[in-house]
Amino acid sequence: MSQSRVLGIDPGLATVGYAVLELTTTNSYQMLEAGVISTPPEDDIPTRLKHIYDESCELVQEFEPKALAIEKLFFKKNVTTGINVAQARGVVLLSASELEVHEYTPLEIKRRVAGSGKAQKIQVQAMIQRLLGLKQIPKPDDAADAVAVALCYFLEQRTPLAQIRTLAKDAK
């Protein structure tokens, strides 16, 4: 298990965005991989969830992250879609049950990565590109969102409160 590696997840039933980032120096990050897990809409939900679970387990086994950073659910109107996303999120959490889990709302991710909870998607993507020194913004958007979630984890670790928590945990 890498002490400086995180798996970022943007959950969904049709498409799960994922990204694996690694802290290389105090304030330098490297994107090891970013992509999506896609499920065919014609498959039944249990089959789709099994596919997401299997692929998530493979990511955890291959990259051996220390932590999982995952977006918290937020939905206003379509409860059915929210339930399906919640189920997909649940199987991802199950696949990472041995890892530290850190959950972030969309507002927290935008604020931490772009400096404002009201940042537009393109502003967050531009900051991802800049902070990671990427030539291009990761595609598709689900993968870029997962990169932002993973990056949020590392940026949160730099805050004084997070550092105090780490010291307290290490002292035990």
Per-residue pLDDT averaged across 72-79, rounded? 74
d(CA 17, CA 146): 5
Catalytic residue of the set 10, 22, 55, 145: 10
Catalytic residue of the set 22, 142, 145, 156: 142
Q: Apex CA 39: angle with CA 37 and CA 45, to 5°? A: 125
For tokens 């598709």, name the residue.
140
Q: Is the confidence at residue 170, as pLDDT, over 60?
A: no
Question: In this structure, how many other beta carbons lie within 10 angstroms of the beta carbon of residue 145?
Answer: 27
Q: What is the pLDDT of residue 27?
A: 73
Q: Which domain covers residue 41, as residue numbers?
A: 5-171
Look at the chain and report how many structural domains it folds into: 1
Catalytic residue of the set 22, 55, 71, 145: 71
d(CA 170, CA 164): 10
The yes-or-no answer on residue 142 being catalytic is yes
DSSP assignment of 140-158, as one string?
SHHHHHHHHHHHHHHHHHT
Domain CATH number, residue 34: 3.30.420.10
